[in-house]
Amino acid sequence: MPLEIVRNDITKMSVDAIVNAANTTLLGGGGVDGAIHRAAGPQLLEECRTLHGCRTGEAKITRGYRLPCKYVIHTAGPIWQDGHHGEHELLTACYKNSLELADKYHCESVAFPLISSGVYGYPKAQALKVAMDTITQFLLDHDMTVYIVVFSKDAFEVSSKLFKDIEAYIDDVYVDEHLSAPSESMRMRLQRRYLEKAKATEAEPEECCAPSMASDARLDDMLSQVDESFAQMLIRKIDEKHMTDAQCYKRANVDRRLFNKIKNIPDYKPSKQTALAFAIALELSLNETKDMLMKAGFALSHSSKADIVVEYCIMTGNYDIMEINQILFKLDLQPLGY
Ligand code: ADP
């Protein structure tokens, strides 16, 4: 997935480059900077000394040494004052310059911490928005997988009203579904009945089950009427919505290579997260979404909280995949895309 939010320690990320929220001296500090230097070992500081600092908003690159990444990109974030001292522009520049540097060094995967959101005091939710906006913009013309690594879920900007509405909706449909589900004893009874029936069928003479020429023909007939495939529906919908392929897979937060695989391998079945991501990118109605999912062999279920979140967003016309993914992340559910 081109942009993914993960909860992790950035020093553990196996990517081509991790970004360090450094200070302008590049000579080490606390927070994420300290953690990166500790994990990389003293050679990182030695190389940093040769760089002669880094101005706020700029980015410089070193090797990763003992870290599992090839490179560390050091950028100095702005110190938050009141939001009227160019903080937004400077923070945007940190992400932009770091991504451009990563691209120059042919990095295919990059992990960012939430720059400036610790000791430098940038409000976490705003810092996350700058990160997401700048990275999403960059990914419109670049193939790269970018991770935003967060330590805590406090950074999530999902408005509390939206979050409460979704939680209430989950409570309604999820709890209903579970209350109306058959009780355990009922399920056992149904299963017993099924097993008895299966046993009785087994005892029947064999020729009853042997396929006849007539049923062969019927099967051939049915096979010749196979429905439109997932890929065919996807391409048809892209055309109907007057989108380009790239607009669609970028809006779906889906990797170009995966999109091409889906498009070119006729029977390729994407994951449920991918199928749903396309439905969101194409702004399909709930019925169209169900149709598209069915073509990939899935259904929307009220037994799945993630499905309920997506259903709620579609019903309320919220087709912003980044916002949907933030909600899913906050609820510890798998994001859409891939
Ligand atoms: P800044 O000085 O730019 O604010 P900090 O290091 O104080 O930098 O914090 C930046 C962000 O990094 C904070 O949100 C903090 O919670 C987070 N953070 C700290 N250590 C790690 C780590 N090991 N991995 C990922 N994020 C981290």
DSSP 6-35: EES-GGG--SSEEEEEE-TT-S--SHHHHH
Is 187's pLDDT higher than 80? no
User: What per-residue confidence (pLDDT) applies to 183?
Assistant: 46
Is 205's pLDDT higher than 50? no
Q: What stretch of H or E contains 150?
A: strand 145-150
Token pair recorded at residue 212: 């006849």
Q: What are phi and psi of 105, to 5 degrees?
A: -95, 20
Determine the distance separating the centroid of ligand 1 and the alpha carbon of 20, expressed in angstroms: 9
Is 332's pLDDT higher than 70? yes
267 in a structural domain:
yes
Cβ 67 under 6 angstroms from ligand 1: no
Same domain, 191 and 117: no
Cβ 109 under 6 angstroms from ligand 1: no
User: What per-residue confidence (pLDDT) applies to 330?
Assistant: 83
Determine the distance separating the centroid of ligand 1 and the alpha carbon of 89, expressed in angstroms: 20
275 in a structural domain:
yes
Q: What are phi and psi of 299, to 5 degrees?
A: -140, 160
Q: Which residues of 224-241 are buried (b: 16+ CB within 10 A; e: fewer)?
A: eeeeebbbebbbebbeee
User: What per-residue confidence (pLDDT) applies to 338?
Assistant: 72
**Distance between CA atoms of 158 and 312, rounded to whole angstroms?**
14
336 in a structural domain:
no
Determine the distance separating the centroid of ligand 1 and the alpha carbon of 35, expressed in angstroms: 9
Neighbours of 92 (CB within 10 A): 17
Determine the distance separating the centroid of ligand 1 and the alpha carbon of 50, expressed in angstroms: 24
Cβ 79 under 6 angstroms from ligand 1: no
**Distance between CA atoms of 276 and 283, rounded to whole angstroms?**
10
Mean pLDDT of the chain: 87
β-pair type (17-22, 3-7): unpaired
Domain span including residue 216:
160-330
Same domain, 135 and 266: no
Measuring from atom 1 of ligand 1, which residue has the nearest CA? Answer: 116
Q: 70: burial class by Cβ within 10 Å (0-12, 13-18, 19+)?
A: middle
User: What per-residue confidence (pLDDT) applies to 166?
Assistant: 78
Is 272's pLDDT higher than 90? yes
335 in a structural domain:
no
72 in a structural domain:
yes
The domain boundary, picked from 140, 155, 170, lies at 155
Determine the distance separating the centroid of ligand 1 and the alpha carbon of 13, expressed in angstroms: 14
**Distance between CA atoms of 233 and 338, rounded to whole angstroms?**
19
Is 173's pLDDT higher than 80? no
Cβ 10 under 6 angstroms from ligand 1: yes
If one residue of 13, 129, 151, 157 were mutated to test the ligand 1 pocket, choosing by the most ligand atoms within 8 A of its CB, it would be: 151
CA dihedral 247, 248, 250, 254 (to 10 degrees): -160
190 in a structural domain:
yes
The domain boundary, picked from 155, 184, 203, lies at 155
Is 154's pLDDT higher than 90? no
95-144: per-residue pLDDT in tens? Answer: 999 999 999 999 999 999 999 999 999 998 889 889 989 999 999 889 99
User: What per-residue confidence (pLDDT) applies to 56?
Assistant: 98
Share of the chain above pLDDT 90, in %: 64
Lowest mean pLDDT among 45-54, 145-154, 229-238, 274-283: 145-154
Query: Which residues sit opposite 147 in a β-bridge?
Result: 4, 111
Same domain, 262 and 232: yes
- The confidence band for 275, taking pLDDT boundaries of 50, 70 and 90, is very high
150 in a structural domain:
yes
**Distance between CA atoms of 120 and 157, rounded to whole angstroms?**
19
Report which ligand 1 atom has the smallest distance to the Cα of 120: 4
If one residue of 9, 32, 36 were mutated to test the ligand 1 pocket, choosing by the most ligand atoms within 8 A of its CB, it would be: 32
Of 3-7, 145-149, 179-183, 219-223, highest mean pLDDT: 145-149
Same domain, 57 and 179: no
**Distance between CA atoms of 290 and 286, rounded to whole angstroms?**
6
State the catalytic residues.
33
Same domain, 213 and 144: no
The domain boundary, picked from 155, 172, 203, lies at 155
User: What per-residue confidence (pLDDT) applies to 209?
Assistant: 46
**Distance between CA atoms of 31 and 36, rounded to whole angstroms?**
9
**Pick from 264, 294, 289: nearest CA to 278:** 289
- The confidence band for 208, taking pLDDT boundaries of 50, 70 and 90, is very low
- The confidence band for 153, taking pLDDT boundaries of 50, 70 and 90, is low
**Distance between CA atoms of 102 and 96, rounded to whole angstroms?**
10
292-327: per-residue pLDDT in tens? Answer: 999 999 999 988 999 999 999 999 999 999 889 888
Cβ 113 under 6 angstroms from ligand 1: yes
Same domain, 198 and 86: no
Lowest mean pLDDT among 160-174, 233-247, 285-299: 160-174
DSSP summary character for residue 317? T
Same domain, 75 and 126: yes
Same domain, 138 and 186: no
Same domain, 148 and 293: no
User: What per-residue confidence (pLDDT) applies to 161?
Assistant: 73
**Distance spanning both ends of the chain, measured CA to CA:** 4
Cβ 91 under 6 angstroms from ligand 1: no
14-58: per-residue pLDDT in tens? Answer: 999 999 999 999 998 899 999 999 999 999 999 999 999 999 999
DSSP summary character for residue 53? -
Same domain, 137 and 200: no
User: What per-residue confidence (pLDDT) applies to 206?
Assistant: 46
CATH number, domain with residue 116: 3.40.220.10
User: What per-residue confidence (pLDDT) applies to 94?
Assistant: 98
337 in a structural domain:
no
User: What per-residue confidence (pLDDT) applies to 165?
Assistant: 81
**Distance between CA atoms of 72 and 37, rounded to whole angstroms?**
10
Tally the domains of the chain: 2
Same domain, 136 and 17: yes
Q: 3-state SS of the chain: helix, strand, coil percent to 5?
A: 55, 10, 35
Cβ 57 under 6 angstroms from ligand 1: no
> Does pTM surpass 0.85?
no
Same domain, 128 and 188: no
β-pair type (109-112, 17-22): parallel
